[in-house]
Structure 1
Amino acid sequence: MSQQRPERSTTRRPAARPDASMSLLTNVMDHSLDDGYAEAAERKAAAGVGGGLPRTLRAKLGLAAGLVLAAVVVTVGAAQARISAPTLAKEREELINRIQKGTDEADAQQHRVDALRDSVDAKQREVLRHHGGDKAELLALLAGSTQVTGPGVKLVIDDAKDAESGNGGGPRESNGFSDTGRVRDRDMQRVVNGLWLSGAEAISVNGQRLTSLSAIRAAGDAILVDNKPLVPPYTVLAVGDGQRLSTAFQDSVDGRYLHMLQENYGVRTRISVEGDITLPPAPSVIVRTAQPQTGAEKAGGADTGKGTS
Structure 2
Amino acid sequence: MSLLTNVMDHSLDDGYAQAAERRRAEGSGGMPKTLRAKLGLAAGLVLAALVVTVGAAQARIAAPAAAKEREELIDRIDEETSAADGLEKDVDRLRGDVGTRQREALRHSGDGDPSDLVAVLSGAVAVRGPGVRLVVNDAKDVATGGDGEARGTSGFSDTGRVRDRDMQRVVNGLWAAGAEAVTVNGQRLTALSAIRAAGDAILVDNKPLVPPYTVLAVGDGQRLSTRFQNGSDGLYLHALQESYGIRTGISVEDDLRLPAAPSVIVRTAQPKTEKGTS
TM interval, shorter chain, is 0.5 to 0.7
Q: Which residue of 1 aligns with 2:146?
A: 165
> Is residue 149 from structure 1 mapped to residue 149 from structure 2 by the alignment?
no
Q: How many Å apart are 1:126 and its aligned residue?
A: 2.7
2:162 is aligned to: 183
Does 1:210 pair with 2:194?
Answer: no
Q: Distance in 2 between matches of 1:224 and 1:117?
A: 20
Q: How far apart are residue 135 of structure 1 and its match?
A: 1.3
Give the letter aligned to residue 146 of structure 1: V
The equivalent residue for 2:64 is none
Instruction: Give unmatched runs, 5+ long, in structure 2.
Output: 1-85
Q: Distance in 1 between matches of 2:192 and 2:97?
A: 22
Alignment match, 2:244:
265
CA distance in 2, matches of 1:261, 1:132: 47
Q: Which whole-Å CA distance do the structure 2 matches of 1:174 and 1:132 have between them?
A: 52
Percent same amino acid at aligned positions? 64
Query: Residues 195 and 271 of structure 1: is their aligned pair in 2 closer, same or farther, counting only changes over 3 Å?
Result: same
Greater mean deviation of Cα atoms: 120-129 or 216-225: 120-129
**Structure 1: where are the runs of 5+ without partners?**
1-105, 300-309
Deviations 1:36-59 (A, max 9, x none): xxxxxxxxxxxxxxxxxxxxxxxx
Structure 1 vs Structure 2 CA RMSD? 2.7
Larger Rg: 1
Q: Distance in 2 between matches of 1:199 and 1:238?
A: 9
1:123–1:231 Cα change, 3 Å: closer
TM-score (norm: length of structure 2)? 0.60
Amino acid aligned to 1:259: H
Q: Is the 8 A contact 1:199 1:245 kept in 2?
A: yes
In the TM superposition, what whole-angstrom CA distance separates every residue of 1:166-204 from its partner, at most 9, and x where no partner exists? 34343xx14555552000000000000000000000000
Q: Does the C-alpha gap of structure 1 residues 132 and 290 become closer, same or farther in structure 2, counting only changes over 3 Å?
A: farther
Q: Is the 8 A contact 2:150 2:159 kept in 1?
A: no
Distance 1:184 1:130 in 2: 41
Once the 2 structures are TM-superposed, how far is the Cα of residue 154 of structure 1 from its aligned partner?
A: 0.4
Contact 1:224 1:230 in 2 (8 A): yes
Per-residue CA deviation, residues 262-283 of structure 1 (Å, 9 max, x unaligned), is: 0000000010001101000000
Whether contact under 8 Å (1:153, 1:239) holds in the other structure is yes
Query: Aligned pairs, how many?
Result: 185
- State the secondary structure of the residue aligned to 1:183: coil
1:127 shift after superposition? 3.4
Amino acid at match of 1:272: S
Q: 1:120 to 1:281 in 2, by over 3 A?
A: closer
